[in-house]
Each structure stands twice: as C-alpha cells, then as structure tokens.
Amino acid sequence: MSSILLPSSPGIRSAKPRLLDWGGRLVPILGGETQTLLRLGTRWSFEFVMPPLRTEPVGRNWVAKLAQAKLDGAIMPFIQDGFDVGAPGAVTVNGDGQSGSLLAVKGATAVYPFRPGQFFSLIHGGRRYLHMVTAQVIADDAGLATLPLLPMLRVIPDDGDVVDMVPKIEGSLIGQDFPWDVLTTPHIDVGTVRIDEDA
C-alpha cells in the first residue's frame, strides 16, 4: 500500500519537529571521556496541530485522509516557516554506493547555496527519507555538490535517486487510535497529529 499524502490546505496552526536519536552517550562510571555512540536509525518526527476545520467539505476530507494514513502511513510537507528554498534545480544522487554522513548530488542550479538547517527528502525505492544539511555548501558551475547531512544515510541510494528540496516527511501516525472532536458550529477538531519516520 502507498502512504497517504495529507491535504496541503488549510495550513497547520503549529508544529513541533524533533530528532529521534537511537544512538547514545557512553559515560564511564570511573571517569574518563564521554563517548557519543552513533547508530543507524536516528530519524525525524513531525508533530502538528490543525485549527478547527469546517466540517464540509474540508473537515470530512481531512478525517478521511488521516483515517487512511493511520493504516497505510502518511506523507506530509515538512514545514520550514519563512525559509525560501529558491531555485535548487532538479537535484539527484550522484553515484551509487554512498553511505555515512555525506551525500554527493548533481543537477543543482549552478552556484545554488545549500544552507545549514535546510531539509530535503531523499526518495529511494518509492520511500522518502528526511535529512537536514548541516553546513553551507555551494554547488559548482556544473551543479555538483557534496552535502553534509543529519542523520547519516539510512539506505544506500542509487545513482539518479531524487533529492526533493521541497521536503516531505513519510511515516506512521503515532498512537493506537485516531480520534477527532465533532463540534456543533459545524466544525471538527483533529487536534494534534504526530508522524514518525519508520526507517
């Protein structure tokens, strides 16, 4: 089954992105240097609050999409409020077999500035993996760049995989149920929704 793309309108009221860290800190009991343990699996979560939605047709549509997403998974635009992505070009992965915390890309607009804190979605095997650029990198005149990223790559991408610079998060709706409030105004309130990446 394919994940459900949630509606883009109306906009969310507030959001709380978070980094889910599956690594850890090793603190020696007899002193010594603390070590940070990096593990594959560190990924992103996106919690958002919707405003009350007029029941027809907007609220009904949101409830239908969220109910489907509870079973099939959700795709949601990852909000970077106030950030202008500009014209990055048609960015794709440059070369097979990449791993770690760097990603070589091609197809960027010449001298496009990838900025620290800028998010993107790596699309591999039909699934989106959300990453953040950690330092400024300027694409060269041929549109090539190597992006330092967080978290480290969780899949080995293929040459030509899409790097979507208008990011979306894909994952599971968190919680055992999906409730919503039916108001008599007539509006509905879906409350707080949280999406965690699955991989």
| pLDDT greater than 70 at residue 187 | yes
Q: What's 6's DSSP letter? A: P
Please tell me the distance from the alpha carbon of residue 151 to that of residue 142, in angstroms, as a whole number: 27
- Given a contact cutoff of 8 angstroms between Cβ atoms, the answer to whether 121 and 130 are in contact is yes
Segment 94-147, tens digit of pLDDT: 999 999 999 999 999 999 999 999 999 999 999 999 999 999 999 999 999 999
What's the pTM value of the predicted model, to 2 decimals?
0.90
pLDDT given at position 37: 76
pLDDT above 90 as % of the chain:
81
Q: Indicate the CATH number for domain 4-79+170-197.
A: 3.30.200
Name the token pair of 63. Answer: 């409830």
Q: What average pLDDT does this structure show over 36-56?
A: 90
Residues in the chain: 199
Q: What average pLDDT does this structure show over 17-26?
A: 87
- Given a contact cutoff of 8 angstroms between Cβ atoms, the answer to whether 69 and 6 are in contact is yes
Fold of 89-166: Elongation Factor Tu (Ef-tu); domain 3 (2.40.30)
Q: Which band of pLDDT confidence, cut at 50, 70 and 90, is reported for residue 27?
A: confident
pLDDT given at position 29: 85
pLDDT above 70 as % of the chain:
99
Please tell me the distance from the alpha carbon of residue 77 to that of residue 95, in angstroms, as a whole number: 27
| pLDDT greater than 90 at residue 63 | yes
Domain ranges of the chain: 4-79+170-197, 89-166
In a 3-state reduction of DSSP, which class is residue 64?
helix
- Given a contact cutoff of 8 angstroms between Cβ atoms, the answer to whether 151 and 19 are in contact is yes
Q: Please state the φ and ψ torsions of residue 69, each to the nearest 5 degrees.
A: -65, -25
Q: Which residue has the tokens 């949101």?
A: 62
| Count of helix runs (H) and strand runs (E) in the chain | 1, 19
